[in-house]
Amino acid sequence: MNTALVIMSRLPLAGYTKTRLMEALNGDQCAAFHQACLQDICQAALDSQLTTYLYYHSPPEYAGSKLDAKGSIWGLETPVLDKLKFRQQKGADLGERLWRAGQEVLQDHSGVIFIGSDMPEITAKLLAEAERLLHKGDVVVGPASDGGYYLLGSQYLWQGLFTAIPWGSDRVLVATLEKIRAMGMSYRHLEAKADIDTIEDLADFVGSGGSEAGIKGNLQSYKAALQLWQGLK
């Protein structure tokens, strides 16, 4: 299967990304944390050998800019930047942006796997398992502990999968599975995992020993962010 991997990410800019962490950290620290997550996720993506697209959402002042040539924005090394395909997200909400990105990449691929940029436990092994499960069902889902999903893959997409979904709520996964069943589609699921949206999520991740899940390169960055917050309490 010629599967594409799509990473959906905000631009890691101070005041624009990881805003739910700003109750504990400042904008620059949140942006640096986002960069640390991206470093791990993008490395896992490249290790998986899947063709990887980074679809970014940016403020209006960055519209049309060559962000793939600005490594300082992403915090990624040049060899990683060179292997990613950068495209701008299009659409009024997350559902429309996912739909449009999927339609674009499926012009050249037989399947697509979506992931976000705040799940550092994404590994090449996990992505390989997701692709394997795509051979066994129409859809593969990675449930998130907050009621959403951290991964969604399909061999083809229909727009209804992404419409009338209560994005940002704890019913995203339930609503998505209801739509899959209503369409008579089959699905497989990966193990549930927790993404990192809040400082409590970060504390749980570091406390659980995230490095044992393959998170080596930036575990110190996560610990540093947590220690900074603890020092400010």
Beta sheet of 3-10, edge-to-edge order: 85-88, 51-57, 3-10, 111-115, 149-154, 139-143, 187-189
The highest-level CATH class for domain 3-232 is: alpha beta
pLDDT of residue 223: 58
pLDDT at 118: 83
Per-residue pLDDT at 222: 58
Question: What's residue 174's pLDDT?
Answer: 94
- Give the pLDDT score at 25: 81
Q: State residue 195's pLDDT score.
A: 81
Question: Are 152 and 172 spatial neighbours (Cβ–Cβ below 8 Å)?
Answer: no
Question: How high is the pLDDT of residue 230?
Answer: 55
- Residues of the chain whose pLDDT is less than 50? 211-217, 232-233
Alpha-carbon distance of 196 to 201, in angstroms, equals 5
CA proximity to 154, closest of 114, 107, 98, 100: 114
Strand residue runs (E) in 46-161: 51-57, 85-88, 111-115, 139-143, 149-154
Helix axis angle for 124-134 and 27-47, nearest 10°, is 60
d(CA 189, CA 92): 28
Domain ranges in the chain are 3-232
CA 143 → CA 65, 140, 158, 174, 199, distances in Å?
Answer: 34, 10, 20, 10, 20
pLDDT at 152: 97
pLDDT in tens, 107-155: 999 999 999 998 878 899 999 999 999 988 899 999 998 899 999 999 8
| pLDDT the model gives residue 68 | 62
